Chains A and B, each alone.
Chain A
Amino acid sequence: MLQLYDAQLASRLMLGTARYPSPAVLADAVRAARAEVVTVSLRRESAGERAGQAFWSLIRELGVRVLPNTAGCHSVKEAVTTAHMAREVFGTAWIKLEVIGEDDTLQPDVFGLVDAARTLCAEGYEVFPYTTEDLVVAERLLAAGCRVLMPWGAPIGSGRGLNNLFGLKALRAHFAEVPLIIDAGLGVPSHAAQALELGFDAVLVNTAVAQARDPVQMARAFAQAIEAGLAAHEAGPIEPRDLAAPSSPLIGTAFRG
């Protein structure tokens, strides 16, 4: 089981809810992924369309836990205010904290992130910071009160997988006891399997599923990959080596000697 703050979760796959072809496909994808946590957002509501009300009904019917985000926030003030608003609407102390620092890569502003995390943790929020693989930033986030970290695999929506394997492995090794969730940048299920094989606790996927030709099938594929990756990690993978090592026993080989 995966423990995130006080929650125990069986699923290691979290799903974003944006960019699906329809609400029905989103609902089917969440079921196919066997996701227990989905990310949600807050946006301006038009009194005429009331799109948010329909979306919120759909999510509640799915019976999953929601992780609201502060996506689109570029300052500490915006992120903290959005977190306050999200807590009221969604009724959860969980917040996926995003403070974006650069628009081309949507790279986190890690300085603002630490500031916002400190404020929100002090107010009793259970913060899931969207961060980089930087070890020092991770230390600061934990010192601020975060008990889960969400390092990026690659820029949001890029589908590039685990961009900085060295940095991510170092992060995993350095914070062996901290739940680490790879957030952003995964493109295909093998990326998710790799994250779990390396010992990451879970992954959050959105675009790779929502924009696939068949999102429901892709959600199922991610769930299977994560199951395989976790099993492989628990089974203890071998270390790569440079030279060949014969797998068949050499003793008793015919025609030798």
Chain B
Amino acid sequence: MKILVNGAWRETRCAELARALEELGYGTSVVSTAVNGEFIAARERARTLLSDGDRLEVLAPMQGG
């Protein structure tokens, strides 16, 4: 299925958010996730299922003022 990852369309075979993150290359990264604008805690990723067209945000620590 196709999902929008940080604003870019990506293909993933995994519906589970946790596995999709691994497939997308975020396996060991410290990141926080939101699906369709809703925060999904790390402990919820294994039981969160993605659907075609979902918007996934993957955020990480960054410089800020």
Q: Which of B6, B7, B64, B65 is close to A45, meaning CB atoms less than 8 Å apart?
A: B6
Contact with A along B20-44 (1 / 0, CB 8 A): 0000111001111110011101100
Question: What's the Cα separation between A20 and B65 when bound, in Å?
Answer: 11
Interface of A (DSSP majority class): mixed
Question: What's the Cα separation between A184 and B59 when bound, in Å?
Answer: 24
Known: A85-B32, A88-B32, A89-B60. A48 touches B65 (CB 8 A): no
Identity of the chain B residue whose Cβ is nearest the Cβ of A184 in the assembled complex? B65
- Whether the Cβ atoms of A42 and B65 lie closer than 8 Å is no
A199 touches B (CB below 8 Å):
no
Please give, as numbers and ranges, the residues of chain A lying within 8 Å of B58 by CB-CB distance.
44-45, 47
Q: How many contacts A-B (CB < 8 Å)?
A: 111
Q: How far is the CB of A27 from chain B (nearest CB, A)?
A: 12
Sorting the interface of chain A by its residue count into under 10, 10 to 19, 20 to 34 or 35 or more gives: 35 or more
Known: A52-B31, A77-B37, A81-B37. A47 touches B61 (CB 8 A): no
Question: What's the Cα separation between A217 and B24 when bound, in Å?
Answer: 42
Question: What's the Cα separation between A44 and B64 when bound, in Å?
Answer: 13
- Whether the Cβ atoms of B65 and A207 lie closer than 8 Å is yes
Q: Which of A46, A47, A81 is close to B39, meaning CB atoms less than 8 Å apart?
A: A81
Q: How far is the CB of B4 from chain A (nearest CB, A)?
A: 12
- Whether the Cβ atoms of B39 and A56 lie closer than 8 Å is no
Would you list the 4 A-B pairs with minimal beta carbon distance, nearest first?
A41-B64, A52-B60, A47-B25, A16-B65
Give chain B's interface residues, CB within 8 Å of chain A.
6-7, 24-26, 29-34, 37-39, 41-42, 57-65
Q: What are 27 A-B pairs at a CB distance below 8 A?
A: A16-B63, A16-B65, A17-B65, A26-B63, A40-B62, A42-B59, A44-B57, A47-B24, A52-B30, A52-B60, A53-B30, A53-B60, A53-B61, A56-B30, A56-B61, A69-B64, A69-B65, A71-B65, A81-B34, A84-B39, A85-B39, A85-B59, A88-B42, A89-B31, A89-B60, A184-B65, A207-B65
Starting from the known contacts A43-B62, A52-B61, A53-B29, 20 additional A-B residue pairs (CB-CB under 8 Å) come to A17-B65, A18-B64, A19-B65, A26-B63, A41-B61, A41-B62, A41-B64, A42-B60, A42-B64, A45-B26, A47-B24, A47-B25, A47-B58, A51-B62, A52-B31, A53-B61, A55-B63, A56-B60, A89-B30, A89-B60
